[in-house]
Each structure stands twice: as structure tokens, then as C-alpha cells.
Amino acid sequence: MAMGITMLMSLTLGYKVYSLGEVWAALTANDGSETATVIAGLRLPRALIAPLAGAALGMAGVLVQTLSRNRIASPDTLGLNAGASLAVVLATVVFGVQSLVGLSLAAATGALLTSVVVFGVAAGAGGLSPLKIVLVGVTFASLAHAVVEIILTSNEAQLQQLLFWLSGAFVDRPISLFYNGLPVVLVGAALAFVLSVALDAMQADDSTAASLGVPLVAVRGLAFLAVSLLTGAAVSMAGPVAFVGLVVPHIARRLVGLRHRHQLAAAALSGAIYATLADVAARFVIYPVEAPVGAITAVVGAVALLVLLMRRLA
């Protein structure tokens, strides 16, 4: 119900407000008018991409926080979004990849390699402590952002196209991105749900999980793969939308508790609603100009991160 209402808000609200009748007419009998073009060609793609990307990032956030045993971890703080963005930039500039499928694969690969690097460096530095994982992730994210800026500066011809991916927004995205991202998200989500029982056991510590028969290496590897698919799909559709993966898992746990089967489902729904509402809010924050949705989620996420850090220090 709530998801349906937020999607209707996405279709009706904006620079120009449309009635439900106009939305229905545009979606069922597109007559080529300006109204039908705006609703079916511009608002419908973002009304589909926003919830799908939000759901993917929400589920990825749950997995990351469990794997790191850190409630302030997210695809952003672990550098996964930055790694996926860097992979998209390199695929475009170095290898000349132009297809949406190719860029989606690049984003997923970048997220996977980043997760391997971050957890590998943290483990090599003396153990997978929650603080160490976050510090390595933030450091890698800063490095990746710096490399992206260097590449963009030295490749002005690619700048406009790459900004399309790196702006972190749902506006002006073709609906084909939704169709390309959907199967990747479904595979990542299915893998996450298959691992849910093992992830429940891993919330305590490795020795407890191992005593319950959890194959830790295999579960971690598959969970990293799921995170990479979910994060990579979200970045390939919408760019690096910040902090959704930090905020949403906390909402999910408050709603349904700690069991991952319920947590993942709640995170998917909460993430979809959160991202869609942020997209609608972005249309009015500096009206009539539209703000980047990444700025909205970053402000909310930064406040949430500060609150969580203050609670830890209290």
C-alpha cells in the first residue's frame, strides 16, 4: 500500500502536478501529447528505477552490516559505491564500453573487487575488527573518488556521458536501465535470502557460527557476491546514491527484528519507499530547480551516521 502511494506520488508530483486521471490516460493510451510524454517517458522510468535501486541498496546494507558486525557500515562507508563508480568510469574511458549491459557488469565487478580489497586489507592488518573495516573502506572510497576526478579531468570528451552515471540521480534515466538492473537485483536478492539462516548465526561471532555448522568462508564469499550484485546494479541504474544502505537497515531492524529473512524483506520495501520519497523531495527542495537525489539521501544519512556515532561514544 505504502509503496503504491509513493509510486503514485512520483508519477503525479513535480515541476508540474498531474491528476491520477492524466497519469492513467498516459500509461494506458499514450497519445503523444506533452503530458503523456512527460509521464510515460520521464516519470515512469524514475518511478520504477528509484524503488528498485533503493531496495537493492537496502538489502546490500543489511548484508554489509552483518558481515562487518558494524551498525555504521554500508556500501558507501566500505567504498563499494565508489569502487563500482570507478569501474564504470574505467570501462567507458579505457575499454570504450558503451552498452548498458556492459556498464552494469562493470559496476557489479567493481563492487565485488572493492569488497575483496577492503576485507582483504583489513584482515591482513590484524583482523576483521568493525572499526578497521570501516577505516579501510573510507580510505579506499577516497582513493577511488580521487582517481575518478583525475580521469574525468583528463578525458573531457567523456565528461558529460560519465556525469550521467556519477550524478547519483533517478532523473533522465531510460527505462531500459530498469529492465537491465532488475534481473541482477533479483539474483542478488535470491542469493541473500538463501544465506539468511547462516547470516543469523554469524551475527554473534565466528566461533559460534562455526560451531553451528556454518561454512564461514563460503558464506562470506557468496554474501560478498550478493552485495556486489545489489550495489553494482543500483550504481549502474542510478549512480552512487549515498547512504541508503546505512539508513535503511536500521529501519528494517526496528520493524521486524534481527532475523535476516524478515530483515532483508523489510529492507527491500523500506529502501524502495525511502529512495522514492527522496526522489520526490528532490523535486521541491530548491523548486523550481531539481536537486540531486543523492544530496537528499546524503544529508539524511550524514545525520543518521552522526547520531549512531554519538550513541557508540556515549
- Select the highest-mean-pLDDT range: 25-29, 53-57, 123-127, 227-231: 53-57
Percent of the chain at pLDDT above 70? 93
Of the candidates 177, 156, 48, the one whose C-alpha atom is nearest the C-alpha of residue 102 is 177
Q: What is the dihedral of CA 205, 206, 209, 215, to 10 degrees?
A: 150
Q: What is the pLDDT of residue 55?
A: 97
Cα–Cα distance measured from residue 147 to residue 155, given in angstroms and rounded to the nearest whole number:
12
> Cα–Cα distance between 248 and 182 in angstroms, integer?
20
| CA-derived radius of gyration, the chain | 19
Handedness of CA 74, 83, 303, 185 (dihedral sign): negative
**Which tens digit of pLDDT belongs to each residue from 156-180?**
666 666 776 677 788 888 888 899 8
Domains of the chain and any CATH numbers: 2-313 (1.10.3470.10)
What are residue 201's phi and psi, to 5 degrees? -70, -30
**Side chain identity at 246, as an amino acid letter?**
L
Model confidence, pTM: 0.89
How many whole angstroms separate alpha carbon 159 and alpha carbon 193? 38
Number of Cβ within 10 Å of residue 123's Cβ equals 14
| Residue range 115-135, pLDDT digits in tens | 888 888 877 776 666 667 778
Q: What is the pLDDT of residues 231-278, one digit of tens each?
A: 888 988 888 888 899 999 999 999 999 999 999 999 999 999 999 999
**Each residue of 89-102: pLDDT tens digit?**
888 888 888 776 67
- Residue 241 confidence (pLDDT): 87
The CA-CA-CA angle for residues 87, 92, 98, to 5°, reads 120
Q: Of the candidates 226, 145, 231, 127, which has an alpha carbon nearest to the alpha carbon of residue 181?
A: 231
Gap between the Cα atoms of 172 and 303, Å rounded:
28
d(CA 23, CA 81): 34
**Highest mean pLDDT, choosing among 21-25, 234-238, 296-300:** 21-25
Lowest mean pLDDT among 40-44, 199-203, 287-291: 287-291
**Residue 4 grid coordinates:** 503504491
